A and B are shown apart, each in its own frame.
Chain A
Amino acid sequence: MNQTSTPNSFRTGPDEQGMFGIFGGRFVAETLMPLILELEEEWTKAKADPTFRAELDHLNSHYVGRPSPLYFAERLTEHLGGAKVYFKRDELNHTGSHKINNCIGQILLAKRMGKTRIIAETGAGQHGVASATVAARFGYPCEVYMGATDVQRQAPNVFRMKLLGAKVHPVTSGQGTLKDAMNEALRDWVTNVDDTYYLIGTAAGPHPYPEMVRTFQSVIGQETREQMLAAEGRLPDMLVAAVGGGSNAIGLFHPFLDDKDVQIIGVEAGGKGLDGEEHCASLTAGSPGVLHGNRTYLLQDGDGQIKEGHSISAGLDYPGIGPEHSFLKETDRVEYVPVMDDEALEAFQLLTRLEGIIPALEPSHALAEVIKRAPKMDKDQIIVMNLCGRGDKDIFTVGKILGVEL
């Protein structure tokens, strides 16, 4: 079997080296290597430990509010006039997005490892808020690295983190966005390896993070599967989710990867268009490279220098992508498409008025794709979209673009 042929299962990765095909791996400084091996060992033990599982389940139901509903969007479906549209409502989770699923899991792991300090990177601030939340809940000091540009445009989340007791470090290197925040978090980690747990927010970074984050987020897809079978007696025809780093998407997709009849679409931030530099469509317009501990698709120039992306949504503003998505692209299991800023903004407004749900700008990208596809599908077909975050944090950004003074 050669590398390009279809694997028997899409769900077996990563291998022992942390690779999904040629993607993934452990491209980190030696200082971090022993720690990453220790993390992998502890994670392997935790996965097999029923008490870990039980504690996670308990927190998911009583603290996070899981399972999140699978909601049939009746008026949107009617409006689009095609496939039935369901939303997996992870925006109803505690802290307002899917990020908490991962944070709860990792903080339990940090506790097992005896770490006493939590660091995290954040873009839109959703992961920062979720990290600060679990740190408060478990009594850990928490420091969050956030690009200075993002600190400006996501002021409410910065304040939220501070209320939760976290220290927010604005990062001024580079363009001051998520990529630079991740560099700075890695610099902190390498300096404080003894006591610090790095709570990575997306399904990227060195092995075992991509697999670990995927596992914690897969609760989204597992619930969706059960809820869909209960509601419709069958699996959906299509899954749609936004991909920035790709954690909400892999969480929804993974339990369905081997269901060949389920079509899967990942939606990237097309920003102002793929012709220029102002987008974050690393899978559609990038190429494989090595950054932040893994090999994956990146936006980069011919010399291997990483470009700064752009998106209306700070949460998608990252020039890379989780390595498993790169693998799913190369094997053609998942189709990745870009959606532009203005399309996302339109979808944001449509959902608000039709369903009374203010979505975050990240899932608004996924919604824009649903709006394109549903009308072309039959009325007995079913789409599930991951509504992975609520839009309260984005009203200032949207207000500014719509010319409304808040």
Chain B
Amino acid sequence: MTTRIDTRFEKLKAEGRPALVTYFMGGDPDYDTSLKIMQALPGAGSDVIELGMPFSDPMADGPAIQMAGQRALKGGQSLVKTMELARDFRKDDNETPIVLMGYYNPIYIYGVDKFLSDAKEAGIDGLIVVDLPPEMDDELCIPAMKAGVNFIRLATPTTDDKRLPRVLSNTSGFVYYVSMTGITGSAIADTSKVNVAVDRIKSHTKLPVCVGFGVKTAEQARAIGQSADGVVVGTAIVNQIANTLDAKGAATTDTVESVATMVRGLATGVRAARLAPTQ
């Protein structure tokens, strides 16, 4: 089954450039603003959208995404509303892939089968669920594959060659390489080390490999985009949103545009990644 994710990466491969994958938290700081942010992303140069599902206990996230989740929950966001965001977005855009990212419990409570059918119906293409390693594949990964929703796995610096095949086995859409052992928003490791790791993963899979955790600037996006098939930016975008909020945490007239401006800058970096003669 070909998903929007597969189609998008094939197209980018033909163009000879990596994808810019942008993360933001659904419902941060409120539903309407986050819908406008989402709608602005493709025009600003985002190729794949990661839509964060807020969770009360985001144990792999740094302070920026923790606070974004808290703002969203305070604003009344829920898994139902996060899927509604995708549905609203799909009214104008039927091509940009949407990947939901978050933790398992809200999905488990919603009910896996109902969640998968509702998510697919809402136009969601893939899932990244941080606390579901391959050992727990029966929970959601296998049902998602059967439902035609990509289950995108995280590979990390601790995933050695022995373990990598297991991590890749039921992965589809793309592989998300976590650039460091740490939480979201930490400082990125040496980009040359990241490129070595990406090449290692690529020797095990034909799937596109995207790199995230710690990418903040257009220059980093360019450097990582030299080997990776996609560059994920999350915390920097979430911080950009946070910086435009008023004292009460509400959106201002700058919020959407400042995110778009940042994404345009990152898109320039990603598009410059392969300007040098490639293989």
Contacts and interface: CB of A to CB of B under 8 A. Distances in A.
Q: Do A and B come from one complex?
A: yes
A292 interface: yes
B133 A26 contact: yes
Contact of B133 (A29, A191, A292): A29
B11 interface: no
Interface stretch (B42-50, B181-189, B201-209, B265-273): B181-189
Nearest to B130: A29
A197 to B, nearest CB: 15
Contacts of B135: 17, 25-26, 33
B154 A30 contact: yes
A403 interface: no
B156 interface: yes
A183 B59 contact: yes
A187 interface: yes
Contact of A289 (B60, B108, B178): B108
B105 A193 contact: no
Interface of B: 54-63, 66, 73, 78-80, 103-110, 130-136, 153-160, 163, 167, 178, 181-183, 186
A296 to B, nearest CB: 11
B105 A289 contact: yes
B66 A31 contact: no
Contact of A190 (B57, B104, B181): B181
Interface of A: 17, 25-35, 173-174, 179, 182-183, 186-187, 190-194, 287, 289-293, 295, 298, 300, 302-306
Given A31-B178, A191-B182, A304 B130 contact: no
Given A30-B178, A173-B66, A304 B79 contact: yes
B131 A290 contact: yes
A298 B104 CA distance: 14
Contacts of B160: 34
A304 B182 CA distance: 25
B153 A291 contact: no
Nearest to B54: A305
26 contacts: A26-B135, A27-B136, A28-B131, A29-B59, A29-B156, A30-B133, A30-B155, A30-B159, A31-B154, A31-B181, A31-B182, A32-B158, A173-B66, A179-B57, A182-B59, A183-B59, A187-B183, A191-B186, A290-B104, A291-B105, A298-B105, A303-B78, A304-B109, A305-B56, A306-B56, A306-B57
A31 B153 CA distance: 12
Given A28-B133, A183-B59, A305-B73, A290 B156 contact: no
B73 A187 contact: no
Contacts of A27: 104, 131-133, 136
B158 A303 contact: no
A394 B107 CA distance: 39
B233 to A, nearest CB: 20
Interface centre among B58, B105, B110, B167 (most CB of A within 10 A): B105
* SS of B interface (majority): loop
A193 B178 CA distance: 14
Given A27-B131, A29-B130, A298-B105, 4 more contacts: A26-B136, A27-B104, A187-B61, A287-B109
Given A305-B55, A305-B56, A29 B131 contact: yes
Contacts of A35: 158
Nearest to B156: A31
B189 to A, nearest CB: 12
A194 B79 CA distance: 35
Contacts of A173: 63, 66
B54 to A, nearest CB: 8
Contact of A193 (B66, B103, B181, B186): B181
B57 A183 contact: yes
A290 B110 CA distance: 12
Given A30-B153, A190-B181, A193-B158, A300 B105 contact: yes
B109 A302 contact: yes
B131 A289 contact: no
Nearest to A34: B158
Nearest to B77: A303
Contacts of B55: 304-305
A40 B66 CA distance: 30
Contacts of B78: 303
B204 to A, nearest CB: 15
Contacts of B134: 33
B109 A300 contact: yes
A169 to B, nearest CB: 13
B59 A292 contact: yes
Contacts of A303: 78-80, 106, 109-110
B79 to A, nearest CB: 6
A292 B56 CA distance: 12
Interface centre among A17, A35, A303 (most CB of B within 10 A): A303
A27 B80 CA distance: 23
Nearest to A194: B181
Contacts of B104: 27, 290
Interface centre among A25, A182, A192, A304 (most CB of B within 10 A): A304
B248 to A, nearest CB: 20
Contacts of B154: 29-31
Contacts of A190: 59-60, 181-183
A285 to B, nearest CB: 16
Interface centre among B58, B73, B109, B159 (most CB of A within 10 A): B109
Contacts of B131: 27-29, 290, 293
A300 B110 CA distance: 12
B156 A30 contact: yes
Contacts of B182: 31, 190-191
Interface centre among B59, B155, B157 (most CB of A within 10 A): B59
Nearest to A303: B78
Nearest to B58: A183
A31 B73 contact: no
B156 to A, nearest CB: 4
A26 B160 CA distance: 19
